[in-house]
Structure 1
Amino acid sequence: MKHLACLLAGFACTLSARAGEVQVAVAANFTAPMQAIVARFEQDTGHKALLAFGATGKFYAQVRNGAPFEVLLAADDDTPARLENEGQAVAGTRFTYAVGRLVLWSARAKLVDGRGEVLKSPDFRHLAIANPKTAPYGAAAITVLDRLGLRAAVQPRIVQGESIAQAYQFASTGNAELGFVALAQVWRDGKFTAGSGWIVPAHLHQPIRQDAVLLAKGRANPAASALLAYLRSAKAQALIRSFGYET
């Protein structure tokens, strides 16, 4: 019995020695899915992931300025490609982990109709969007308004959040009656978690392809490579789809 206990203790020590830690910058729209994925990743691999959530544009600037991030999960495909071209990311490691969907959403039930016609009505005072200069979902929202010919009409009512997380906060608290947010923030297992919404047709904006990439600081970190591999696993992909993303 004592021999078995020693063997088990030795095995645990070996696993502990092999386990690593990875610092990850994650686009704000992917907060809930990533938290769920990392919980399983840590359980399955023994590695630990330290997550920071925010706007992709801000992460780009931070990586350029020496931030210690080892993996980036962006809200677009342009930023990881740019970092790769600039030598800040490892060539050949970039891939699309999710395709995001934009939704016009309100915390109020029945306020948003199935075609987004509420945007033409006087039934709201504020429309929340993410900063289009740093957040791809904010840029997509502006494109939608332009293609619908509504930007000038709603411009005085737009309130801008620093990231998609802050845009959602404005809408979820009622400080803005409407918000263009990520579907993943208000959707789970095939339905809205609360309120009412219009899932914006994909043809009204460019596809929101969200790419992941191994950053230069994570080149030699096995935990960073393991996390990227885990994101491509069937288990992680199923979780991602459950939050309304396409994979």
Structure 2
Amino acid sequence: MGKLYKEFIFLAVLVAGIGFSLVPAFAENAKIAVAANFTATANELAKDFQARTGHKAILSFGSTGKLYAQIIHGAPFDVFLSADRTRPRKLEEDGHGVPLSRFTYAYGQIALWTRDKTLLGDKEFSDVTIPALLEENRLTRLAVANPKTAPYGLAAEQYLKKIGIYDQIKGKTVYGENIAQTYQFAYTGNAEVAIVAYAQVLGKPRGTSWLIPQESYEPLGQEAVLLKKGQYNEAALAFMAYLKSRDAAVIITKFGYTLEPR
């Protein structure tokens, strides 16, 4: 009986050891700076990340340009999820990012959105109906993110130039500090139409949206970079690895992003 008891205890300890090896003994926190367009996606990723690893991702949201400025001025972030590739590369080149840590975690898409379903009548959003709304003076305010600080705003600008109305609509454009504020302008009626991240309006019953063809703007590759402040933080390292996982990919694509440019 004594021998059986000892063997039972040994197996129990072994199984417990295997179980605990899946989750770190000392969970840590990682401070993640996240581009505003990725808000809902990042929130779900953070929950799944904590459930799988025990580590906690503490998220801070803002425009890519403003977060970049905060980082170079010493903000204590461990990881930066940018909405472009330019800032992560600059951070790496300037010594704020860990060399060779950058990778593209998602490709964003932009969409036209209006809360007013009667705005278009029996028509749908297209490269033709937007100029027509402008000519008919039914489009008096168009909301876009600031192209100087928000990559999604720059993509919107590229699209407006492609369909030939950029100069015409310039005086009617209202600029959001980031893509979240841009959506709010149209949601609250301060603009009839907004060019937003597709992820913001995907699956929402209110309003009307149209996915702008990706060939109408430069690919919105979004890069992650491990910052020097996080290079020895186990939670930050684990989060970077998690972003490359199949589990993360399922969540990212569910929210309207792609893993390759279309």
Using the size of structure 2 for normalisation, the TM-score is: 0.85
Give 1:128's aligned amino acid. A
* Match status 1:115 vs 2:123: no
CA-to-partner distance for each residue in 1:48-71, whole Å, 9 max, x for gaps?
111000000111111110000000
Give 2:217's aligned amino acid. H
* Match status 1:202 vs 2:202: no
Query: SS at the partner of 2:57?
Result: strand
Query: SS at the partner of 2:84?
Result: coil
Q: Which residue of 1 aligns with 2:228?
A: 216
Q: Which has the larger radius of gyration?
A: 2
Q: Which residue of 1 aligns with 2:32?
A: 24
State percent identity of aligned pairs: 45
Q: Structure 1 regions of 5+ residues with no counterpart?
A: none
Tell me the distance in 2 between the aligned counterparts of 1:227 and 1:169: 30
Q: Which residue of 2 aligns with 1:159?
A: 174
Comparing 106-115 with 69-78, greater Cα deviation is found at 106-115
Q: Which residue of 1 aligns with 2:188?
A: 173
- Point out 4+ residue stretches in structure 1 off by more than 4 angstroms: 14-17
Give 1:91's aligned amino acid. P
Tell me the distance in 2 between the aligned counterparts of 1:43 and 1:164: 29
Give 1:202's aligned amino acid. Q
Q: Following TM superposition, by how much is the alpha carbon of 1:172 offset from its aligned partner in structure 2, in angstroms?
A: 1.7
Give 1:58's aligned amino acid. K
* Match status 1:67 vs 2:75: yes
Tell me the distance in 2 between the aligned counterparts of 1:15 and 1:226: 11
Comparing 136-145 with 105-114, greater Cα deviation is found at 105-114
* Match status 1:232 vs 2:244: yes
Give 2:119's aligned amino acid. L
CA-to-partner distance for each residue in 1:162-214, whole Å, 9 max, x for gaps?
001100111122221100100000014xxx54311221111111100000010
Tell me the distance in 1 between the aligned counterparts of 2:206 and 2:108: 19
Q: Following TM superposition, by how much is the alpha carbon of 1:110 offset from its aligned partner in structure 2, in angstroms?
A: 5.4
Q: Which residue of 2 aligns with 1:45?
A: 53
Query: SS at the partner of 2:232?
Result: coil
* Match status 1:137 vs 2:149: no
Give 1:201's aligned amino acid. P
Tell me the distance in 2 between the aligned counterparts of 1:118 and 1:51: 39
Contact 2:23–2:52 (8 Å) recurs in 1:
no
Tell me the distance in 2 between the aligned counterparts of 1:234 and 1:16: 20
Query: SS at the partner of 2:34?
Result: strand
Q: Which residue of 1 aligns with 2:105?
A: 97
Give 1:199's aligned amino acid. L
Give 1:163's aligned amino acid. N
Tell me the distance in 1 between the aligned counterparts of 2:145 and 2:81: 18
Q: Following TM superposition, by how much is the alpha carbon of 1:17 offset from its aligned partner in structure 2, in angstroms?
A: 4.3
Q: Which residue of 2 aligns with 1:146?
A: 161
Q: Structure 2 regions of 5+ residues with no counterpart?
A: 1-8
Contact 1:55–1:135 (8 Å) recurs in 2:
yes
Q: Which residue of 1 aligns with 2:5?
A: none
